[in-house]
């Protein structure tokens, strides 16, 4: 029976992982460890998360070393939910304390330099690293993949992702995301690689976020274009200044078009898919709680029941592509807010 340690109580840790863990029955011991969940974040009060989320009945560790006394490191899954620029240090300390199973929030690293260090630590310490990529368990992704593998609509021609949401408050507060490439893009990039295979960047760019007199470099929007085998292209666009929220995917095939909408938040766990062909259009709406499905799959992986063989390789490929896209966009060094 596996225990759980959540490190980082920002939006990902307190706002997403903890509620899903409870919903999946952590307190009942299936499929997770015995209660309470243990949490640690050096920068926040022990009673609530960064967004005011009530942490409830959790055991609060006062340091990572303290957490190692509350749990059995050899039988614990660590949810590393710190920002992408603050991963290597806690991962190193946790590995030194004997923790070996890690769910790492996306992206796996902020850049290729840190990625090399994380992979070196993994190899040296025998760590099991699983980057969070919940859209790989999305029902919408599964239905799109089913159409592709079924072959009824012919070969894949292109994929396009549009991800929009207003993100002013969180950017103003600061959460260790160095650019707009690191916020929404990793979700769609992982799906593109799973549907169309390996890819190279052929174009990318980004824009600043303007908020009053403040300028947040590279945090307004980001776009990139990938070239896969057989001439397939993927276009990904993320706008963090949009007044509306949208997570749309458009898949062009020889015999038709798929238009899908991922759930925009935990407030509504339903996705939509429209299959459009010359013969007409078929629309469907269905429940799609991808993070819950992913965490359940992750714990089966960590327990040895259902190993995931393509990680952390896929997560590493996402970081490599994001790093190349940043170079295309002219981001040569870490960026931060300028006022």
Domains of the chain, by residue range, sit at: 3-131, 139-293+320-328
Confidence band of 46 (pLDDT split at 50, 70, 90): low
Under the banding of pLDDT at 50, 70 and 90, the label for residue 47 is low
pLDDT of residue 261: 98
- Quote the pLDDT of residue 322: 97
Res 307: pLDDT: 92
Beta 280-287 vs 270-277: how paired, if at all?
A: antiparallel
Topology (CATH) of 139-293+320-328: Dihydrodipicolinate Reductase; domain 2 (3.30.360)
Q: Which distant-in-sequence residues (6+ apart) come within 8 Å of 57 by Cβ? A: 27, 35, 36
Cα distances (Å, whole numbers) of residue 123 to 5, 95, 128: 22, 11, 9
Distance between CA atoms of residues 243 and 13, nearest Å: 25
Q: What is the pLDDT of residue 27?
A: 46
pLDDT in tens, 142-194: 999 999 999 999 999 999 999 999 999 999 988 778 999 999 999 999 999 99
Per-residue pLDDT, 26: 61
- What does CATH list as the number for 3-131? 3.40.50.720
Q: Beta partners for 281?
A: 276
Average pLDDT over residues 3-32: 81
How much is the pLDDT for 58?
87
| Confidence at residue 45, expressed as pLDDT on a 0 to 100 scale | 58
pLDDT tens by residue, 214-243: 999 999 999 999 999 889 999 999 999 999
Strand partners, 265: 268
For residue 130, say if its preceding peptide bond is cis, omega within 30 degrees of 0: no
- CA-to-CA dists, residue 259 to 54, 271, 275, 277, angstroms: 37, 11, 7, 11
Q: Tokens 């898919």 label which residue?
A: 273
Confidence check: pLDDT of 14 > 60: yes
Quote the pLDDT of residue 25.
75
What pLDDT is attached to residue 266? 78
d(CA 249, CA 87): 30
Asked which of 16-30, 194-208, 238-252, 298-312 is least confident by mean pLDDT, the reply is 16-30
How far apart CA 280 and CA 256 sit, in angstroms, is: 10
What digits encode the pLDDT tens for the residues 112-147? 999 999 999 999 999 999 999 999 999 999 999 999
Lowest mean pLDDT, pick from 87-91, 174-178, 302-306: 174-178
Query: Region 64-68: what's the mean pLDDT?
Result: 96
Pairwise CA distance, residues 144 & 82, whole Å = 31
What mean pLDDT, rounded, does the chain reach? 90
Residue 31: pLDDT band with limits 50, 70, 90: very low
- pLDDT value for 56: 66
The 10s digit of each residue's pLDDT in 239-282 is 999 999 999 999 999 999 999 999 998 788 999 999 999 999 99
């Amino acid at each position: 029976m596996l225990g759980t340690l959540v490190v980082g109580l920002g939006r990902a840790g307190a706002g997403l992982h903890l509620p899903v863990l409870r919903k999946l029955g952590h307190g009942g011991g299936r499929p997770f460890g015995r209660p309470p969940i243990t949490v640690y974040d050096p920068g926040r009060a022990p009673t609530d998360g960064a967004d005011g989320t009530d942490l409830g009945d959790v055991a609060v560790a006062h340091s990572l070393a303290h957490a190692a006394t509350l749990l059995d490191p050899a039988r614990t899954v660590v949810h590393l939910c710190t920002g992408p620029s603050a991963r290597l240090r806690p991962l190193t300390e946790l590995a030194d304390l004997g923790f070996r199973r890690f769910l790492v929030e996306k992206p796996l690293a902020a850049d290729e330099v840190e990625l090399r260090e994380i992979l070196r630590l993994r190899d040296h310490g025998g760590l099991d690293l699983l980057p969070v990529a919940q859209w790989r368990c999305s029902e919408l992704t599964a239905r799109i993949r089913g159409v592709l593998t079924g072959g009824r609509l012919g070969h894949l021609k292109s994929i396009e992702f549009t991800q929009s949401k207003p993100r002013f408050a969180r950017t103003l507060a600061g959460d260790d995301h160095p650019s707009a490439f690191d916020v929404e893009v990793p979700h769609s990039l992982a799906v593109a690689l799973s549907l169309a295979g390996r890819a190279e960047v052929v174009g990318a760019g980004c824009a600043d976020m303007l908020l009053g007199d403040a300028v947040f470099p590279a945090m307004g929007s980001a776009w990139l274009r990938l070239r896969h085998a057989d001439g397939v292209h993927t276009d990904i666009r993320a706008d963090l200044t949009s007044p509306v929220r949208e997570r749309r995917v458009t898949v062009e095939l020889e015999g038709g078009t798929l238009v899908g909408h991922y759930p925009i938040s935990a407030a509504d766990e339903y996705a939509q898919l429209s299959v459009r062909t010359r013969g007409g259009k078929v629309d469907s709406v269905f429940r799609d709680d991808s993070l819950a499905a992913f965490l359940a799959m992750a714990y089966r992986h960590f327990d040895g029941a259902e190993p995931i063989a393509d990680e952390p390789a896929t997560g590493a490929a996402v970081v490599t592509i994001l790093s190349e896209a940043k170079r295309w966009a002219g981001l040569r060094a870490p960026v931060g807010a300028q006022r």
